[in-house]
Amino acid sequence: MFSIIDRYIAKLFLGFFAGGLVVFVTLFVTVDYMSNFVRTEATLKSVGLFYLYSTPGVLYQMVPVACLLGVVFTLGSLGKTNELVALFASGMSLARVSAPILVLVVLISSVSFFLNDRVGPYINQQKNYIYWVEIRKQPGLYSTVKTDRIWYRSGNSLYNIKTLQPDTAMAMGLTMYQFDGAWRLAQMITANSVKLKGQTWELGDGTVTLFPVETSVPITQSFKAKTIVVAEDSKDLQASGQSTDALSLKELQHFIRKNKESGLDTIRYEVDYHAKLSFSMAALVMSLIGIPFSVGKQRSGSAAFNVGITIGLAFAYWAFYSSGITLGKHGAIPPVLAAWVPNVAMSALAVVTLVRMRR
């Protein structure tokens, strides 16, 4: 149960955390707007909607840095006013003083991860749509960036789709190859357009070509409209056309499994999957790193000095984390190590530093 002191420390932390979050998001939006949209011909409404949909993702990315800033400024403030000395004198250890802060960090991280995983994919789809269709005026590029040249396997069937639009459940340029038990090509279906309705697909303007075993002469028949039933729910296929920021953790895991079964390279997606998990721990790791540095320099803790500590530690963590992700996506190290080694290493550094301080 939290005491009065715990509530006081928690209140300080939340104030610094919220202030840092507002400052970081404001700086990001301002710099991004000045870099990308000052000379654009997009309407103010489109740009406003773009940043409206971008803000949740930016908030999620900035939570670890804001937590680090909250830790550094909270402990630095307590040290500067000698309140930290008084707490130590009363028998409270550094771990006990930091307990309410770390509890809040875990709570904030859990809530932000849950919201990002459940709501983030939809918001990112809307953001990408507004950017490519309404701002850049290149709707075709929106489809290409997210959904071109898709190969998908389901049982004895192979699907090739030129472009896929998950938001409208429409596909263009379908070629479907169906094989028999001996993996001989039995039928090929092409269609210019496909409306995806679960396991029912409505094809438009295409052909059906049969390859009889008895003869080497294929039989082709065209059609204007045709309905087929596929073995798998088309949501699997729609997920294959999305970038990982538009997939939840569960959807990404399913997508990786399906593509592995088809013999496709999934290293990049495996790294993204583990990165989503490891990033959920980034705020806690950064907070642990910030504790020994903020306490160790408490007497010289001006606001500028605390900001310097925050920036330095955040940069060191991101450099290590980004390097691991890059190495993982290039196959230099396994995906699990690529995503988790930075967190483990930085946490170990924080623990070692705290142990040395006690000595």
3-state SS string over 202-234?
Answer: EEEEEEEEECCCCCCCCEEEEEEEEEEECCCCH
Tokens 């980004």: give the residue.
322
* Residue 39, helix vs strand vs coil: coil
Cα separation, 309 vs 293, whole angstroms: 8
CATH number of this structure's domain 156-230: 2.60.450.10
Give me the amino acid identity at 138.
Q
Per-residue pLDDT tens, the chain, 359 aa: give them.
568 999 999 999 999 999 999 999 999 989 988 888 877 778 888 999 999 999 999 999 999 999 999 998 999 889 888 898 899 888 888 889 999 999 999 999 999 999 999 999 889 888 888 887 888 776 655 654 445 567 777 778 888 887 776 656 778 889 999 998 888 899 999 999 899 887 889 999 999 999 988 777 889 999 999 999 887 655 566 555 556 777 889 888 887 887 677 566 788 889 999 999 999 999 999 999 888 878 755 545 456 676 777 788 888 888 999 999 999 988 899 999 999 998 999 899 888 888 777 65
With 0-12 / 13-18 / 19 or more C-beta atoms within 10 angstroms meaning exposed / middle / buried, residue 225 is exposed
Cα separation, 344 vs 327, whole angstroms: 17
Cα separation, 269 vs 255, whole angstroms: 9
Give me the amino acid identity at 316.
A
Tokens 């004198």: give the residue.
89
Cα separation, 289 vs 304, whole angstroms: 19
Return the structure tokens found at 125: 């789809």
> How long a stretch of residues is the chain?
359
As annotated, the residues of the chain forming the CATH 2.60.450.10 domain(s) are 156-230
* Residue 280, helix vs strand vs coil: coil
